[in-house]
Amino acid sequence: MESYFLEWANLLLRWVHVITAIAWIGSSFYFVFLDNNLQKPNSPDLLEKGVGGAMWAVHGGGFYNPQKYMVAPKIIHTKLHWFYWESYSTWLSGFALFTVLYLYNAGTFLIDKSLMAWTPVVAGSAAVGLLVAFWLVYDSICRVFGFRKNGELIVAGLMIVVVAFCAWLANELFAGRAAFLLVGAMIATAMSANVFFWIIPGQRKVVAAMTSGETYDANALAIHGKRGKQRSVHNTYFTLPVIFAMLSNHYSFLYTHEHRWVLLFVMMLAGALIRQFFVQRHAFHLGRAANPWPFAAVGVVMILGVIVALRPAPPKVSAVPAQPVGFAQVQSLVGQHCIGCHGAQVQMKNVRLDSPDLIKQNAQNMYQQVVVTKQMPMGNATGLTEDDRALIGRWFQAGAKTD
């Protein structure tokens, strides 16, 4: 019964997490679009008000006229909307999901004893520690190098090295699926921390100065805008790598590969390059930047390289016809490798395999998870061999008979 309610918690938290992530990423992409498409107005009344960029847009039967003030407007006439709960809700729901699935079941999902035979408490503490450590390293790099000459290039180069190291380290310490998700969670934590520690506090100081009724130094306040802009831009480049890391942990051919950390890093870097293409493309059309197609080209070539490198070897054709598979053989394998999580006492994913009828009922699911995707057993903790998987595959393709 406990596993049943945990599955519901997993489903509902994942649902909330995806919804809030869509809201956060959507608003992030929209504001990057605005920054690259707003044009300095010619209208004297807008210039007098301090408008540094504006545009017209049409959507849903109405016309919109977004305007950007380079420091702050002299007065805010209507309600001021803050964009931060999208970020906070995404992180909170994501960490809750991570807790329910990985920390609560660390012995099953987080730990690979062939890599590190530590206790669930120690493994969970190390995983959370990595989230904090990544933020501290990233934040320190931004503080030290962010506003120096060529600072953004230095920050980008250092963060490429840091992310590569984290991808390697996580895959050396944790089960492959957990390692992929953990690397994504490290970057996502830094993104939300950017909003919490820098972007929103800086904006609050600007608004407080504006609404105080006292004279304020606009140049002194400008640093908050520059820092907020810096961290916001970083967040948009982090987006595609994070999404890939979160999705890829569902594909066992990636997280079970011998060089899985390299695959993860290359795909995340490709995502960042492709995101750079989309960011710079808007500025290119307005004559503000060079043609960004090389970024997209390099990113696509990297992805194609991974696809080619992972292509399966052609199947070996045996001169000896395959022997028919008896149900007793399949039932024996199920008893050795599956009953621990899908028996009378525990039914992970609400699946039971402790009788012939239940095995036949779940034959399609078994074939997909064990033979096609090879996601089960989780982390192959019970040592199911390729011959065993092939046997189950032949049994299913022959009709999944139990007699």
Element (H or E) spanning 45, and its range?
Answer: helix 44-49
pLDDT at position 126: 97
CB 294 within 8 A of CB 280: no
Beta strands in 41-180 (DSSP E): 51-54, 57-59, 62-64, 67-69
Cα separation, 159 vs 393, in Å, equals 44
Cα separation, 170 vs 242, in Å, equals 15
pLDDT at position 209: 84
pLDDT at position 365: 85
Task: Find residue 53's DSSP bridge partners.
Answer: 68
pLDDT at position 72: 67
Q: What is the pLDDT along the chain (403 residues), one digit of tens a residue?
A: 566 788 788 889 999 999 999 999 999 889 888 888 888 898 888 888 888 899 999 988 899 999 998 766 777 778 888 889 999 999 999 999 999 989 988 888 899 888 998 999 999 999 999 999 999 999 999 999 999 999 999 999 999 999 999 999 999 999 888 999 999 999 999 999 999 999 999 989 888 887 777 887 777 788 888 899 899 999 999 999 999 999 998 888 898 888 999 999 999 999 999 999 998 887 787 777 788 999 999 999 999 999 999 987 776 665 556 677 888 888 888 888 888 888 887 777 778 888 888 888 988 888 888 888 787 887 677 888 888 898 898 888 888 888 7
Q: For residue 163, which of 196, 185, 193 has the smallest C-alpha distance?
A: 185
Cα separation, 376 vs 389, in Å, equals 10
DSSP letter assigned to residue 101: I
Cα separation, 166 vs 190, in Å, equals 13
CB 282 within 8 A of CB 244: no
**Dihedral angle computed from the Cα positions of residues 20, 24, 29 and 30, in that order, rounded to the nearest 10 degrees:** 100
**Domain ranges, ordered by start, for the chain:** 86-309, 327-397
Q: For residue 68, which of 116, 21, 117, 34 has the smallest C-alpha distance?
A: 34
DSSP letter assigned to residue 103: I
Q: For residue 274, which of 219, 324, 237 has the smallest C-alpha distance?
A: 237
The model carries a pTM of 0.83
Cα separation, 382 vs 205, in Å, equals 56
pLDDT at position 322: 66
pLDDT at position 142: 97
Q: For residue 194, which of 160, 234, 156 has the smallest C-alpha distance?
A: 234
Show the tokens assigned to 259: 């060089």
Q: For residue 70, which of 225, 299, 278 has the smallest C-alpha distance?
A: 225
pLDDT tens profile 13-24: 999 999 999 999
Cα of 23 vs its chain's centroid, Å: 15
Q: For residue 55, which of 74, 73, 34 has the smallest C-alpha distance?
A: 34
Cα separation, 259 vs 296, in Å, equals 25
Residues 230, 232, 233, 235: is their CA dihedral positive or negative? positive
Residue 175 CB partners (closer than 8 Å, separation 6+): 109, 110, 111, 112, 115, 379
**H-state helical runs in 318-361:** 327-337, 356-361
In terms of residues, how long is the chain?
403
pLDDT at position 384: 87
> What is the distance between the terminal CA atoms of the chain, rounded to a whole angstrom?
31
pLDDT tens profile 278-306: 988 877 877 777 889 999 999 999 999 99
Helix, strand, coil percentages (3-state) for the chain, rounded to 5, are 70, 5, 30
CB 210 within 8 A of CB 216: yes
CB 274 within 8 A of CB 296: yes
